[in-house]
Structure 1
């Protein structure tokens, strides 16, 4: 499989030390992993979009999720589930940043679980007691569906939807926190 020109260039730039005088190629395993991840990313319009978004977000997420394969798999899931639910993937990343700091095993003081801090009562409500809310795919499916519902219920008002998601409707701290993470870390210009 021939490397994709843009992906190759972006990875070279990301791996290039500022003081480098000799050209350094990215690690072959990382290049191969990126190519496989891009090829498996069904929720993107085209390969270019997938390459750019995955590389950009992977770089931003590196401090929270060290393993490149885990990071790319997670980002592909975020993009897929957010897209299915009609959400911007970068706002979902901001919500996860606020809720769990990217800890899939996080449990809140009220029992919410996983990256998106989903309440376990949803499993009983859906008749799916076997679902594991610390599984990223399951947690993202539940969380994105819930946020999407609240966003529709609030006629697109992201602040009210986030407050509902957090159970703090009428308060502004939580929506401001998520929007702050979005603006400071995760926002992607269209």
Structure 2
């Protein structure tokens, strides 16, 4: 064999030995990694506390990386705090009401859809027409959940939070007045008391606005009942014109005389303004 052949043979032998050694090392290395993974899985299965701690650390690291990349801290559960529903997910009747209210009061259909769904659910539970509940909200606040009058009427249904603070105790306190769903439920409870006390819806609305002891409620009950009728027609599938809404006038007058059924309510506002509870 020539010197060149010997060199080539030696090179092949060297390459083969290196490849074999590399294979054995990596094979053994993968085996070690596999055993380590199996051991880790068994450990995490037997120790859920370690698994939870590890998941928490991993999520913290991922959030920190995402916050660094985005310039803000991500909150994936923020959507759970939103009072909103896709109107397409509502029953046809409720969706029609939600879209109509959205157009008329110039508010997004998603939060309106959540309020419509809640009004129907609460109405079913309390035996109250949901379109009446929505009509009260429309006249009282124009669907502004953060509305507040100068004498303490707050939220969607403009409940006098100070007067009805006991009704918010089961919701964590008076600040819940600014949670739209809570305000709706408390407002319905107050309205229900007023109707039971007065004996009819029309008279109950007069109680609700605090004008029970007055000869005139400033047209409040008529406005609510008119909006109630429009919403009933919308819910039935009728085409109803979008009558421009009057701007809700929050209560500016001082509280009036006490009412046995609902404690102290506020008297009707000055002439020309819509009264609120």
Give the superposition deviation at 1:82: 2.3
Residue in 2 that maps onto 1:161: 204
1:119 matched to 2:160? The reply is yes
Give the superposition deviation at 1:65: 5.1
1:171 matched to 2:216? The reply is yes
- Seen in structure 2, the aligned counterparts of structure 1 residues 126 and 74 have a Cα distance that, compared at 3 Å, is closer
Residue in 2 that maps onto 1:181: 227
Deviation string, structure 1 residues 80-125 (Cα, Å, up to 9, x no partner): 1222222101111111111111111111232100110011124533
Q: 1:95 touches 1:116 (CA, 8 Å); kept in 2?
A: yes
Q: 2:100 aligns with which of 60, 64, 68?
A: 60
Q: 1:61 touches 1:71 (CA, 8 Å); kept in 2?
A: yes
Deviation string, structure 1 residues 14-73 (Cα, Å, up to 9, x no partner): xxxxxxxxxxxxxxxxxx9345x43xxxxxxxxxxxx22222102211222543322211
- Seen in structure 2, the aligned counterparts of structure 1 residues 115 and 80 have a Cα distance that, compared at 3 Å, is same
1:69 matched to 2:72? The reply is no
Q: 1:65 touches 1:102 (CA, 8 Å); kept in 2?
A: no
Gaps of at least 5 residues in structure 1 are 1-31, 39-50
Q: Which sits farther off after the overlay, 90-99 or 125-134? A: 125-134
Question: May I ask how many residue pairs the two structures share in their alignment?
Answer: 144
1:98 matched to 2:139? The reply is yes
Task: Report the Cα distance in structure 2 between the residues aligned to 1:142 and 1:122, rounded to whole angstroms.
Answer: 12
TM-score by length of 2: 0.47
Residue in 1 that maps onto 2:187: 143
Q: 1:100 touches 1:117 (CA, 8 Å); kept in 2?
A: yes
Give the superposition deviation at 1:127: 6.8
Q: Give the secondary structure class of the aligned counterpart of 1:187.
A: helix
Q: 1:131 touches 1:138 (CA, 8 Å); kept in 2?
A: no
Task: Report the Cα distance in structure 2 between the residues aligned to 1:55 and 1:79, rounded to whole angstroms.
Answer: 11
Task: Report the Cα distance in structure 2 between the residues aligned to 1:166 and 1:52, rounded to whole angstroms.
Answer: 32
Q: Give the secondary structure class of the aligned counterpart of 2:138.
A: helix
- Seen in structure 2, the aligned counterparts of structure 1 residues 130 and 93 have a Cα distance that, compared at 3 Å, is closer
Q: 2:161 touches 2:174 (CA, 8 Å); kept in 1?
A: no
Give the superposition deviation at 1:78: 1.4
Q: Give the secondary structure class of the aligned counterpart of 1:176.
A: helix
TM-score by length of 1: 0.67
Q: 2:147 touches 2:156 (CA, 8 Å); kept in 1?
A: yes
